[in-house]
Homo-oligomer: A and B are copies of this chain.
Amino acid sequence: MNETDSLKSRYTALTQKGLNLNLTRGKPGADQIELAVGLDDVLKGDFHSVDGTDTRNYGGIRGIPEIREIGAHLLGIGSDQVLAGGNSSLNLMYIVVNMLVDRGLCGSPLRSNQSRSAICPSPGYDRHFVAADQLGFKLLTVPMTDTGPDMDQVEHLVRTDLSTNFIWCVPKHSNPTGCTYDTETVDKLAALPAMRAGTPDSPFYVLWDNAYSVHDFAEPVPVLDSIDEQASRHGTNDYIVQFASTSKITFAGSGVSFIGGSERALDEIEKYIGAMTVGFDKVNQLRHARFLQGPEGIKAHMAKHAEVLRPKFAAVQRGLSEELGNRGIANWTDPTGGYFVSLDVKPGTAKRTAELASAAGLAITPAGATFPYGDDPMDSNLRIAPTFASLDDVESAIEVLGVCVRMAAEQ
């Protein structure tokens, strides 16, 4: 039996196993969620925040002091630069992008009769792209490198095309490649808004979704430069808006989200949000502050997550190496944190790979999902999300995936 036949017979055998495997979404596993079970009854009848607020009642868009300290730690800024929100940082991003359109942030609103566009380093986070698309932004793809977005292309766009309004960034353990932006990239990103100093009607924003700031599971732990400090040097702080959340720290669907920004930006955002809600859930903010306690508590808690995640990510590396190593048909990332492994298969075969996987009982994120409009021009990138499945399932799934990648490459 030659290698092709052997591959086919392995694939046939796999399809006949009746597998039901899923590597689609970046959800924490049940064992990770369980780590925060103490969150639910941490309050013990004491609902008052350190400033005396009864968190159960209405009011307070900015959030209670102790949870803003947690957000400050996640973002590496001062708590006076933090607004604490509800259970969804994506929602805060959506609100801010919506605000750019209809209100403006530290500047003019984007004119409704002009085209607007968002720079989308890709592969990237599909929900960023979908949110911007719904808000009427054209999605412009720029390549993601190992050190962050291709800044030559980004700078060219910002310099030459006034219809570009902002860039999406996941600066640490980026979704899905796992890369962390290097010093030069952070500095160049912080400088982008200054390129529009001469055209104040067309401000440019950097939306900094630091979703994985404390989500390390292996060495070396990358160090992300402070974009806030770089922005201070460039005088661009009003145009850098940062985001974080506890969703992948405590309960994925019931965490606390954060915005980090300049005093002026936060004041404007707070006022804007004040027309759409009386306030976020402060009881849940208090639960989180009491449960996480502070930097040391977060560090200890994230170490427990790392224990759960490390074997799963190791299984992905081991499986991919076994099936695809040294064949010249695939490359993949080896992250030390975050939630994903990014797999580049032979150009033109990502969709086919996903189809083969599906037929064999393995659901993977749709090929192309990591690119604007779900359209990967090379049809090459696949996102592997190994956190939600059990370790056994991850191992089985990666074997299936490897076989499918090879079969697709041969066809």
Q: In this assembly, does A1 line the interface, its C-beta being within 8 Å of a C-beta of chain B?
A: no
Q: In this assembly, does A275 line the interface, its C-beta being within 8 Å of a C-beta of chain B?
A: yes
Q: B281, A90: Cβ atoms under 8 Å? A: no
On chain B, the residues within 8 Å of A103 by CB distance are 134
A: interface residue count bin: 35 or more
Cα A280 to Cα B131 in complex, Å, equals 16
Cα A247 to Cα B275 in complex, Å, equals 17
Q: In this assembly, does A380 line the interface, its C-beta being within 8 Å of a C-beta of chain B?
A: no
Q: B275, A253: Cβ atoms under 8 Å? A: no
Q: A45, B56: Cβ atoms under 8 Å? A: no
Q: A253, B276: Cβ atoms under 8 Å? A: no
Q: B91, A272: Cβ atoms under 8 Å? A: no
Minimal beta-carbon separation of A57 from chain B (angstroms):
5
Minimal beta-carbon separation of A47 from chain B (angstroms):
8
Residue in contact with A57 in the complex, picked from B28, B86, B130, CB distance below 8 Å? B28
Interface stretch of the complex, out of A36-44, A146-154, A230-238, A403-411: A36-44
Residue in contact with A253 in the complex, picked from B43, B112, B131, B283, CB distance below 8 Å? B283
Q: In this assembly, does A213 line the interface, its C-beta being within 8 Å of a C-beta of chain B?
A: no
Cα A222 to Cα B253 in complex, Å, equals 38
**Number of identical monomers bound together in the oligomeric complex:** 2
Minimal beta-carbon separation of A251 from chain B (angstroms):
4
Cα A252 to Cα B279 in complex, Å, equals 10
Minimal beta-carbon separation of A9 from chain B (angstroms):
37
On chain B, the residues within 8 Å of A55 by CB distance are 253-254
On chain B, the residues within 8 Å of A242 by CB distance are none
Q: In this assembly, does A277 line the interface, its C-beta being within 8 Å of a C-beta of chain B?
A: yes
On chain B, the residues within 8 Å of A283 by CB distance are 40, 251, 253-254
On chain B, the residues within 8 Å of A135 by CB distance are 102
Q: Which residue on B lies nearest to A44, using beta carbons? A: B41
Q: In this assembly, does A196 line the interface, its C-beta being within 8 Å of a C-beta of chain B?
A: no
On chain B, the residues within 8 Å of A27 by CB distance are 57-59
- Which of A43, A251, A254 is most buried by chain B, counting CB atoms within 10 A of its CB? A254
Cα A335 to Cα B364 in complex, Å, equals 58
Q: In this assembly, does A136 line the interface, its C-beta being within 8 Å of a C-beta of chain B?
A: yes
Q: A277, B91: Cβ atoms under 8 Å? A: yes
On chain B, the residues within 8 Å of A280 by CB distance are 87-88, 253
Q: In this assembly, does A157 line the interface, its C-beta being within 8 Å of a C-beta of chain B?
A: no
On chain B, the residues within 8 Å of A37 by CB distance are 45
Q: A94, B277: Cβ atoms under 8 Å? A: yes
Q: Which residue on B lies nearest to A247, using beta carbons? A: B58
Minimal beta-carbon separation of A93 from chain B (angstroms):
9
Q: In this assembly, does A284 line the interface, its C-beta being within 8 Å of a C-beta of chain B?
A: yes
Q: In this assembly, does A113 line the interface, its C-beta being within 8 Å of a C-beta of chain B?
A: yes
Tell me the chain A residues, 49-71 only, with Cβ under 8 Å from chain B. Answer: 54-60
Interface residues of A (CB under 8 A from B): 25, 27-28, 30, 33, 36-37, 40-41, 43-45, 47, 54-60, 86-88, 90-91, 94-95, 98, 102-103, 112-113, 127, 130-131, 133-136, 247, 251-254, 272, 275-284
